[in-house]
Amino acid sequence: MIKYRKYFLVHNLLAKFKNEFKNLLKIGLPIFGSQVSYVFMGTTDTLVAGRASSTDLAALAIGSAFTHPIWLLVAGITFAITPIVAQLYGAKEYTKIGYKLGEVAWIAVGLGSLFLIIYPNLYLLVNLLQLDSEVARISGEYLRALSIGMFAITIFTCLRCYSEGMTLTLPVFYISLAGMLINIPLDIIFVYGYFGVPKMGGVGCGYATSIVSVFMTLALILYIAKSKYYIKTKPFQKLPFPSKSTLIEIFKLGFPIGLGIFIELAMFSGAALIISPLGKEIVAGHAIAMNIASFFFVISLSVGLAAATRVGNLIGAKRMLDARFASISSICLCTMIAIINTIIILTFKDQLSAMFSSEDAVVLIATSLLVFAAIFQIPDGAQIGAIGALRGYKDTFAPMIITLLVYWFIAIPIGYYLTYYGINTPLGASGMWISMIGGLTVFAVLIILRVQWISKKFIRVMS
């Protein structure tokens, strides 16, 4: 009897996990499609610039090292919209969602406007690095070309988070897919110079990105305004200037999200900057390995983003036990996906590297670093499942502190030491990757423990 009881308990538990996995994937698969589109835009930039020259590829890598952390530090504040909308949607407070959208739209415009000033002047920071003069020049001009695009994509992100918080993830996917497809010919035209457009090299990728970002933003605004799926929230009917309470809510919740992502990406960017004096071939190889790792990571990332919506919806509906189970399911599913990614990267590392460069030295370096990139997937997958769940709980400050301590006080210093000194001999770029894997592993353990604590706390409060 005990044996059969255990069997049914396990069977029921597995069935419950299966059902929760379906819920997460229903929300997450369109998000995955959107994330693949974003990453593929970056991959297209890398492929097109890499085929132009290793100088253009290295310049793009340095430019990206500045682009993403700075944008996420500022515009990452808008990510707070997802859990806010998700909890309101779970509580069926639809009219509050539309009013809130009007307020945060102004915040997004204000944040986006900052990039019109910041990006054209980032060349001042680039010039402080010990870079090849041509690499520095191309990086600076690439960043200048991105400024309008970063303004537009900030507004797009605000609207995307609003839509995803209500589980309406397909419209964002369709628009992102269209943007990705448009980006391919634009990259080729601007980088190599066709149809009367001057040959711009890596700088052309910046102009292509800006054009695509404006297109995506306008398309999403139009769709939300006309689609029946958003009517009950009454979007754009009112555009009230944000109240003090909304400003406090958005920045209190969103700033730790943006700063946390900034700290994490700054670790990756810091890794690129630390190894930049080792030579442009090593920088290019590192960029390829990181790009491939990022491409595979988006599967786990999509589930993590879905978890923020799913957990937020359940909390809004006062279903705290289900919210805890959804959190655990997110971590398990993300880890399973990450293990599969690891196997794929290790199996096809030679072929993957060769796709991104025609220079043998760059391909050889990228292939060797992909071994680390494969292992990197597992702790990275586990932590993003946990992070997504915590956002659903609106718990963002503690994860930010953990991120800062682990990445910048452990991973980066140890990575620098291993790269240039090592234990017996300098490890070069491999030392940086080893340290990042160690840092991510520590972070994953701590953040999963945080999920366990916060989910139990919500259950106790509701009891």
Q: Is residue 339 part of a domain?
A: yes
Q: What is the pLDDT of residue 9?
A: 62
pTM here is: 0.82
> What is the rounded end-to-end Cα distance, in angstroms, of the chain?
33
Q: Is residue 8 part of a domain?
A: no
- Picking from 446, 396, 451, the residue whose alpha carbon sits closest to that of residue 82 is 396
Q: Is residue 1 part of a domain?
A: no
DSSP tally for the chain: helices H, then strands E: 17, 0
- Picking from 335, 339, 313, 316, the residue whose alpha carbon sits closest to that of residue 326 is 313
Per DSSP, the three-state class of 265 is: helix
pLDDT over threshold 60, residue 341: yes
Q: Is residue 451 part of a domain?
A: yes
More confident residue, 9 or 252: 252
Q: What is the pLDDT of residue 417?
A: 87
Residue range 173-199: mean pLDDT, rounded: 88
Residue 461: which residues within 8 A CB-CB, separation 6 or more?
A: 320
CA distance 35 to 2: 46
Residue range 395-410: mean pLDDT, rounded: 90
Q: How far is CA 50 from CA 42, 191, 205, 352, in A?
A: 12, 11, 11, 14
CA distance 440 to 376: 8
Cα atoms found within 13 Å of the Cα of residue 70, Cβ hemisphere only: 22
Condensed to tens digits (0 to 9), the pLDDT of residues 82-91 reads: 999 999 988 8
User: Which amino acid, 41?
Assistant: M
Q: Phi-psi bin for 201: left (phi > 0), alpha (psi -120 to 50), beta?
A: left
Q: What is the pLDDT of residue 196?
A: 79
- Picking from 292, 333, 294, 336, the residue whose alpha carbon sits closest to that of residue 310 is 333
Q: What is the pLDDT of residue 181?
A: 93
The Cβ of residue 275 has, within 10 Å, a number of other Cβ atoms equal to 23
Cβ-contact 212, 44 below 8 angstroms: no
Residue range 85-109: mean pLDDT, rounded: 89
Q: What is the pLDDT of residue 463?
A: 64
Q: What is the pLDDT of residue 444?
A: 94
Q: What is the pLDDT of residue 62?
A: 77
Cβ-contact 298, 35 below 8 angstroms: yes
Cα atoms found within 13 Å of the Cα of residue 10, Cβ hemisphere only: 6
CA distance 97 to 104: 10
Residue range 385-394: mean pLDDT, rounded: 93
CA distance 309 to 392: 6
Residue range 274-294: mean pLDDT, rounded: 78
pLDDT over threshold 60, residue 2: no
Q: Is residue 2 part of a domain?
A: no
Q: Is residue 4 part of a domain?
A: no
- Picking from 183, 408, 15, the residue whose alpha carbon sits closest to that of residue 416 is 408
Q: Is residue 6 part of a domain?
A: no
Q: Is residue 123 part of a domain?
A: yes
Condensed to tens digits (0 to 9), the pLDDT of residues 327-338 reads: 999 999 999 999
Residue range 51-63: mean pLDDT, rounded: 75
Residue 450: which residues within 8 A CB-CB, separation 6 or more?
A: 386, 390, 395, 398, 399, 402
For the chain, what is the domain count?
Answer: 1
pLDDT over threshold 70, residue 7: no
The parent domain of residue 294 ranges over: 16-458
pLDDT band for position 325 (50/70/90)? Answer: very high
More confident residue, 414 or 294: 414
